[in-house]
Amino acid sequence: MSNDKAEDIFDIKKMEKTIRKAKRRANWKTVLVTLIVLVVVMIVGTIMNRNINYKLERPVQFSATGFHEISAPNEFIGKLERYQGILGGENRYTTYKIIEGKVVYTGQERYGYGLFRDENLNRIGIESPILIGPTLHEGDLQKQHYNELGQREMVFFYPFLQYKTYRNDLALLDNMVEDKVMEVALSFDQGYTFDEVQSMISNNVTLTWLWVDDVNEDADDFQYNYVDENGEVIVLDNLLRSEHTVYGLSLFDENGDMKEEPVRRFIGAIEANQQFKTRWQGEFKRLYETLSREDGQLTEEDLQYYGAVVTGNAQNLSQLKDLPFIKASSIGVITDKY
């Protein structure tokens, strides 16, 4: 083989080696650039997702907290855990009641938010035994209802309805031991003002929560009924309100301290939460329209109270027996004093 041909073959092999080396270098550069781009996209995407989640979460969290503030007698939100996902998330919180300074755990709740889940976390229904479900009408009074922890549920009676059966749990106080404290729901014989309720309740009993009149006696339906197979409406009995369905205001905050201007805070929670498009928005609007009466402006003078929740021991609560303005009484959570 001539020297010229040998040199040509050597040059070709050298060129092929150089090309392979250049390709490997290009491939590594592509991989490196791809990794950098992926890292940047992940960081930017995570930041954007977090910011979007905050915007999606804020109205739901604010509305859920506000709704709990105007409902849930004598109950407060405890520890809140927040979990974020992709364009949405879930918040879980515990609840507790304060009974004469004693904190009593009452369960946990959760709600969702985002583009792929609603506040109910896409739940399609709830099933439970009758004993754990809410009390809805007179027929439910045949059995005492409880929550999932075995704690008694309080019920409230409308003052303008005549029931066949009333709950008179104050009569049970004689059987209570001295080291027990409890909460009791009181249903009044008519609507009273804030000052009137405070003057009627003994100082030896702790007044913790007031049930607000949120109904229209002339327009709302207060009968439990069903439609039979012939299409006829069968009226069974009168409706009740359980502690899961009433609205009102707490006189104490989550730390057990007296609230400043509790009525004003109740009104403020309703006013502020009408703007948020959550599952509670319709109820906030209904409450504002119903409570504000004819002039459309909700003020403290518009509110009437159909009942209250008080706490104390058996001896102190016994002072409420046979008071003429108490139409019914229902004991809720019972706990040890210490």
How confident is the model over 90-134, as pLDDT tens digits? 999 999 999 999 999 999 999 999 988 888 888 877 777 878 888
At 100, list the tokens.
């004469």
Coil vs helix vs strand at 259: coil
pLDDT digits (tens, 9 = 90+) for 191-225: 999 999 999 998 899 999 999 999 988 888 888 87
Exposed / middle / buried, residue 59 (Cβ in 10 Å: 0-12, 13-18, 19+): middle
Residue 9, pLDDT score: 54
Rounded to 10°, the helix 3-70/262-273 angle is 140
State mean pLDDT over 249-257: 96
Q: How far apart are CA 221 and CA 215, in angstroms?
A: 10
Q: Where are the beta strands (DSSP E) in the chain?
A: 75-85, 88-99, 102-114, 155-156, 180-192, 206-212, 223-227, 233-238, 241-242, 248-250, 305-313, 326-336
pTM confidence score: 0.85
At 220, list the tokens.
């709302």
Query: Which has more pLDDT, 266 or 124?
Result: 266
- Evaluate if residue 47 carries a pLDDT over 90: no
Are residues 185 and 332 in contact, defined by beta-carbon separation less than 8 angstroms?
yes
Residue 225, pLDDT score: 77
What are the Cα distances from residue 314, in Å, to 48, 64, 170, 293?
A: 56, 34, 9, 39
pLDDT digits (tens, 9 = 90+) for 48-105: 888 988 999 999 999 999 999 999 999 999 999 999 998 999 999 999 999 999 999 9
Amino acid at residue number 87: L
Residue 281, pLDDT score: 95
Q: How far apart are CA 111 and CA 118, in angstroms?
A: 8
Q: How far apart are CA 135 and CA 151, in angstroms?
A: 14
Amino acid at residue number 230: N
Shortest CA distance to 138 belongs to which of 246, 222, 49, 230?
Answer: 222
Q: How far apart are CA 297 and CA 212, in angstroms?
A: 16
User: What is the separation of C-alpha 228 from the centre of its chain, rounded to a whole number of angstroms?
Assistant: 35
For the chain, give every domain's residue range: 132-336
Amino acid at residue number 262: P
Coil vs helix vs strand at 281: helix
Coil vs helix vs strand at 17: helix
Sheet with 88-99: list strands edge to edge. 75-85, 88-99, 102-114
